[in-house]
Structure 1
Amino acid sequence: MKTALITGASRGIGRAIAEELGRDHHILAGASSDASEIVDALPSAEPFEVDLRDPSAIGSKAAEISGLDVLIHAAGLFPKGEFAEISDAQWREAFEVNVFAGIELTRALLPALRRSRGILITINSGAGFHGFEGGTAYCASKFALRGFSEALRLEEKGRIRVTSLHPGRTDTDMTAGDERAKMPASAVAKAARLAVDAEATVEFLRIAP
């Protein structure tokens, strides 16, 4: 059975992906605290509990993983508010969770992914292409994540696959209170499944379900 590490697996898109891939993967369920609920709901899973704002903790926890086939960075923060209202601490936390945590995990687990000729998927957003009012920190972090993913894809071509998912508004805690039409998180999970199950010779630059 292949192994997949999914950050943000306790809720939202991350949980939907864990449930989708959990049908035939052993899941390392990434969460900042208690991952027991999603772990108990899956056929084969264990917690990967770590503070994604702490690079040293990420490195130490990742060092416990010997083999990995799939790494999905689905954890994310959305500091809502106009630029003048967002504090320096909120800016830094958005980049720590949305960008740097995924980079740190990829750095630590790249040898394992290379050995398995595995796949890295970053869960991005339409905000990785287009800015919008009230989302300066979020949009900036997603633009940065897209740049990292696309450059890494070129550097690692032939060794691992790198794909970026850019869903639009999705029905998660992050969009609570937004009454506009939203896709279910399961739709994003199906897009992740498409990328994971593709043949080794097939690579998606980005998917926008």
Structure 2
Amino acid sequence: MTRADTAPGTVLITGGASGLGAATVDAVRKAGGTPLVLDRAEPAPGVEHRRIDLADTAAVGEAIDDLVAATTGRLDGVLTAAGSDACGRLEDVDRGPWEQVISVNLLGTAAVARAAIPHLRQTHGRIVTCASTLGLRALPDATAYCASKFGVVGFSRALAAELAGEVGVTTLVPGGMSTAFFDGRPDQYKPPADVRLNDPADVAQTVLFALSQPSGCEIRELVVCESTESSWP
């Protein structure tokens, strides 16, 4: 059983209720595929989903198996777009919020991959993990986010080697995007008013590109950023 060449098939998207996740839901739908969503919030109407906090890694496997069984019975691709942040100097950020970032961004990514692999082996599918340009370059007041995203890069590279020839793994490294991710932060941690950010719909197209490569061809890492992105290289 293999993925159809003309459509992305069934794609699981974490964080699919907003930002890059929601944009990828739209892209999968428009391409003729079936998006499935894991998120704490409700995704777009008509999208099969389970509401879950990815920090609860023990619940991830059951949610994925349940979604697949209740819909198409198969899984062709995964995007781990869910993410959180806790800005501030290390000694100023409480332990709970700091560790929540690690739990969602890194441990949640690993939990989703762990649960999805048996399904993806059957379809020779692919996982696209969502890192960040701050998984390649560190900034102050971002220890939790950088630790989690540097971790995603290392995890994804190791997983790609582990699953070579069985399940594809692409590390997506996006720069800043025009999403609600920056809402609610103190002004010092928001992008300046004149900064240019990518449209998440454009980045979603690169996700579909990674998921749609022919058998045996893998995009291992994909950096996508606005041309004036200051956090890369």
Alpha-carbon distance between aligned partners in 2 of 1:201 and 1:59, rounded to the nearest angstrom: 27
Range with bigger deviation, 140-149 or 86-95? 86-95
1:14 to 21, 39, 58: 21
Corresponding residue number in structure 1 for 2:202: 187
Any unmatched runs of 5+ in structure 1?
none
Distance in 2 (alpha carbons) for counterparts of 1:63 and 1:46: 13
What is the CA-CA distance between 1:82 and the residue it aligns to? 1.6
- Please give the alpha-carbon distance, in whole angstroms, between the structure 2 residues aligned to 1:110 and 1:154: 14
Q: Within 2, Cα distance between the matches of 1:96 and 1:128? A: 16
Q: Does 1:28 align with 2:29?
A: no
Whether 2:172 is the aligned partner of 1:170: answer: no
What corresponds to 1:80 in structure 2?
Answer: 87
SS of structure 2 residue aligned to 1:63: helix
| Structure 2 gap segments, 5+ residues each | 1-6, 184-189, 225-233
Give 2:45's aligned residue: 39
> Number of aligned pairs?
203
The residue that corresponds to 1:108 in the other structure is 115
1:6-45 deviation per Cα after TM superposition (whole angstroms, max 9, x unaligned)? 000000011111111122111112211323xx133xxxx3
Q: Are 2:174 and 1:159 equivalent residues in the alignment? A: no
Structure number, greater radius of gyration: 2
Q: Give me the TM-score of the superposition, normalised by structure 2.
A: 0.83
Percent of aligned pairs sharing the same letter: 29
**Contact 1:169 1:175 survives alignment (8 Å):** no
Q: Is the 8 A contact 1:69 1:118 kept in 2?
A: yes
Letter of the 1:28 partner, please give it.
L
Query: How many Å separate the matches in 1 of 2:215 and 2:103?
Result: 31
Does the 8 Å contact 2:14/2:37 carry over to 1?
A: yes
Confirm or deny: 8 A CA contact 2:64 2:115 kept in the other structure.
yes
Aligned partner of 1:204 in structure 2 is: 219
Which of 123, 133, 143 is equivalent to 2:150? 143
Q: Is the 8 A contact 1:39 1:47 kept in 2?
A: no
RMSD between superposed Cα atoms in Å: 1.4
Which residue is 1:98 aligned to?
Answer: 105
Q: Which has the higher mean CA deviation after the structures are superposed, 112-121 or 50-59? A: 50-59
For residues 201 and 137 of structure 1, what CA distance do their matches in structure 2 show?
35
Q: C-alpha separation between the residues in 2 aligned to 1:109 and 1:191? A: 21
Question: Partner amino acid for 2:103?
Answer: E
Distance 2:13 2:62 in 1: 17
Instruction: Read off the aligned partner of 1:187 and give its amino acid letter.
Output: D
- 1:59 Cα deviation after fit: 2.1
- Specify the SS of the correspondent of 1:134: coil
Deviation of 1:79 (Å): 0.8
